[in-house]
Amino acid sequence: MKFAVIVFPGSNCDIDMYHAVKDELGEEAEYVMSDATSLEEYDAVLLPGGFSFGDYLRTGAIARFSPIMNEVVKAAEIGKPILGVCNGFQVLLEAGLLPGAMRRNESLKFICRPVELQVKNNETMFSSAYKKDEVIHIPIAHGEGNYYCDEQTLATLKANNQIVFTYYSTNPNGSIENIAGIVNARGNILGMMPHPERAVDPLLGSADGLKLFKSMVKQWRESYAVNT
């Protein structure tokens, strides 16, 4: 499986993503710059954390107009898995690929620490390696991770089982319904604030994030086997 790691000016978790896929997962990965105009050769797309374009205007607001985002939309439309983490999640929201918006943390402070997540939906291409309601340990690092959506959108997310991860013991940022990660209705786009790529080896304090990437590979191999 070949992953594209998108690099915006200001990305700072692209190397973590690359390491998680290449060294821990043992799959192919390449950096793709934000001005690139094709993703055809890749099987999955990763939008990393950081401060794309300095987070000017709003987090992800400028990055969503990068040339590569046209290709991300095309990849999403044909069903390729798209994972946006932290700033990558914010970019997906700004691009309209996921519903809702991101606000400042309730504390108005940047938060960087491990948190507990609960797996609410383990039937997605990103979470099938987990058990339902499994509690996992993944770090966060953000100042604007307070996910918000209106009541109608929240009802839709619940009805379609689109809430994949929630904060378990404490809500660090004020996110509505403790939401930490959601998928689109089709199930091929996941946005989450916690950083699974920073939890892929016990030496990092947790290897719980590796299961997310393993889930993506498992789904791809199963799909590839069916289509060949």
Q: Which of 13, 71, 86, 149 is catalytic?
A: 86
| Known catalytic membership, residue 86 | yes
Q: Which of 27, 71, 94, 197 is catalytic?
A: 197
DSSP state for residue 201 in the 8-state scheme: B
Quote the CA–CA distance of 65 and 44 in Å, as a whole number: 20
Bridge partners, 191 (sequence order): 84, 182
Contact 129, 212 (CB under 8 A): yes
Contact at 8 Å (CB) between 74 and 12? no
Contact 98, 191 (CB under 8 A): yes
* CB atoms inside a 10 Å sphere around CB 59: 28
Consecutive H or E run containing 47? strand 44-47
Q: Does 197 qualify as catalytic in the annotation?
A: yes
149 carries an active-site annotation? no
- Options 13, 142, 144, 195, the catalytic residue: 195
Catalytic (active-site) positions: 86, 195, 197
